[in-house]
Amino acid sequence: MVWSLQSLSELSDTEFERWGKLLEERAGIYMGDQQRVFLQTQVTMRMRELDFERYSDYLEYILDGVSGMLEWTRLIDRLVVKETSFFRHKESIDFIARHLADRLMNNNSDDAFELWSVGCSTGEEPYSLAMVINDAYQWVNKDPLYGITATDISRAALSLAKNGVYNDRKLERLNETYCKRYFTQLDDGKYQIISSLRDRICFHQGNILNIAEMPVVKVDVIYCQNLLIYFKKWLRESIMNAFVERLKSGGVLVIGLGEVVDWSHPKMKRLSAEEVQAYVHI
């Protein structure tokens, strides 16, 4: 029988524990029992491609030298690159738009508006934020003065994000005005974010698990949606505390609704927005 058509045995408790420990140590990702089937599916798909028959052999391959590190990167792409879309959780993005509009109308400062998109995946999130930020500047009749730093653990996802090219399915949920204003149709029928918007975003590879090693560059907004759910409670809170040190006074932290509960910090105040989980640096 051809190996690719064979069924694999299920991950044993011992093997699942070894894989879980590796993911937590290297990427901070916690795999509970509810993610067991997902982990097994993604690992076995890659094993078939490389003709591995045993989980233990594939794990040893990943742990061995430079080739193993490259393979680890490929596997991580499959495990953490989430399906995303433009204006995913529109309430949070609209909140950022209102926050900036209020600032521009009530503040005569010409300081640049700096935002950090954490776990940006293939770019839809930071581009959506750039659209509403650009609109806010136009609405108050001011020249756009902003920049977005977007980070993700996956180099493959970042490569797609930097190009800013998407198929028509990705644009289905977008307002027609945004499609006309911020995209150019290419010869192959796909659509690319206009260069003036792409130039506002700096994409970087980074593992949020190593946030303590990242430069402390203070920004006006940290936007982190649907990422913290991958981590254990204590690690979520540790990352949140590190975010605080990277916010300017008056800066805002937006996370996924319900991703972190019962977190508090003496420098942060929870904002009373029912559909958005946001905090302001006081």
Q: By the 8 A CB rule, do 146 and 137 touch? A: yes
- The pLDDT tens digits for 81-98 are 666 899 989 999 999 999
Is residue 4's pLDDT more than 60?
A: no
**Would the pLDDT of 111 be above 70?**
yes
Average pLDDT over residues 213-240: 89
State pLDDT tens for residues 65-76: 888 888 887 888
Count CA within 13 A, CB hemisphere, residue 219.
Answer: 22
Instruction: Summarize pLDDT for 200-216 with one digit per residue, the tens.
Output: 999 999 888 888 888 88
pLDDT of residue 282: 95
Is the predicted pLDDT of residue 132 greater than 90, yes or no?
Answer: yes
User: How far is residue 160 from each of residues 24, 133, 165, 189, measured CA to CA in Å?
Assistant: 26, 22, 7, 17
Query: What is the reported pLDDT for 33?
Result: 81
pLDDT per residue as tens digits for the range 231-270 = 888 889 999 999 999 999 999 999 998 888 889 999 999 9
pLDDT of 2: 39
Rounded to 10 deg, the angle between the 55-62 and 65-80 helix axes is 110
Q: Which two tokens stand for residue 236?
A: 């979520």
Query: What per-residue confidence (pLDDT) applies to 273?
Result: 83
Interacting residues of 242 by C-beta distance below 8 A, sequence separation 6+: 211, 212
For the cut 90, the answer to whether the pLDDT of residue 39 exceeds it is no
Burial class (CB in 10 A: 0-12, 13-18, 19+), 70: exposed
> Residue 185: pLDDT above 90?
yes
Percent of the chain whose pLDDT exceeds 70:
95
Instruction: Put residue 136 in one of left, alpha, beta given phi > 0 → left and psi -120 to 50 → alpha.
Output: alpha
List, for residues 144-169, the tens digit of each pLDDT value: 999 999 999 888 889 999 999 999 99
3-state secondary structure the chain: CCHHHCCCCCCCHHHHHHHHHHHHHHHCCCCCHHHHHHHHHHHHHHHHHHCCCCHHHHHHHHCCHHHHHHHHHHHHHHHHCCCCCCCCCHHHHHHHHHHHHHHHHHCCCCCCEEEEEECCCCCHHHHHHHHHHHHHHHHCCCCCCEEEEEEECCHHHHHHHHHCEECHHHHCCCCHHHHHHHEEECCCCCEEECHHHHCCEEEEECCHHHHHHCCCCCEEEEEECCCHHHCCHHHHHHHHHHHHCCEEEEEEEEECCCCCCCCCCCCEEECCCCCCEEEEEC
Residue-wise pLDDT tens digits, 13-35? 888 888 888 888 877 777 778 77
Confidence of residue 7 (pLDDT cuts 50, 70, 90): low
Paired tokens of 83: 């399906």
Instruction: Return mean pLDDT, the chain.
Output: 89
Band (1; pLDDT cuts 50, 70, 90): very low
**So what's the pLDDT on residue 5?**
37
User: Does the pTM of the predicted model rise above 0.85?
Assistant: no
